[in-house]
C-alpha cells in the first residue's frame, strides 16, 4: 500500500491537476463557492484545484511557496 506524505508547503499534483495547499485560517474568501470535487482535505491541509484561481494568482502563490521553502532551509 502506498502512502502519501506531504509538508504543509507542498503543492499536490494529481491527474495532471495542480492543487494549492491552504491551512484553515488561510483559505481564500470565496472558497465556499468552489465545486466540492475541486477540494481535497488531508489532515489539516486543504488543497484547492488551481483551476479555481486565475493563472496570475496561481503563479504568485507558487512563487511564494517556493520562496518560503528556500527560507525554511536557511541556517540561522
Can you list the positions of beta strands (E) in the chain?
A: 12-14, 17-23, 39-42, 45-49
Range of the domain at 39: 12-72
Q: Does residue 5 fall inside a structural domain?
A: no
Q: Give the pLDDT band (50/70/90) at residue 6.
A: low
Q: Yes or no: say if 53 and 60 are a contact pair by the CB < 8 Å rule.
A: no
Does residue 33 lie within any of the structural domains? yes
| Cβ–Cβ < 8 Å for 69, 9 | yes
Assigned domain for 3 exists:
no
| Residue at 66 is within a domain | yes
pTM above 0.95, yes or no: no
How crowded is the C-beta side of 54, counted as CA atoms within 13 Å?
Answer: 3
> Cα–Cα distance between 17 and 51 in angstroms, integer?
8
**Mean per-residue pLDDT for 47-76?**
78
Domain count, the chain: 1
Give the pLDDT band of residue 5 (cuts 50, 70, 90). Answer: low
Amino acid at each position: 500500500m502506498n502512502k502519501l506524505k506531504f509538508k504543509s508547503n507542498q503543492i499536490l499534483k494529481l491527474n495532471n491537476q495542480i492543487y494549492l495547499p491552504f491551512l484553515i485560517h488561510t483559505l481564500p474568501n470565496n472558497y465556499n463557492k468552489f465545486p466540492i470535487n475541486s477540494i481535497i482535505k488531508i489532515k489539516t491541509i486543504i488543497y484547492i484545484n488551481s483551476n479555481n484561481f486565475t493563472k496570475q494568482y496561481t503563479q504568485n502563490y507558487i512563487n511564494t511557496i517556493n520562496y518560503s521553502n528556500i527560507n525554511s532551509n536557511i541556517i540561522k
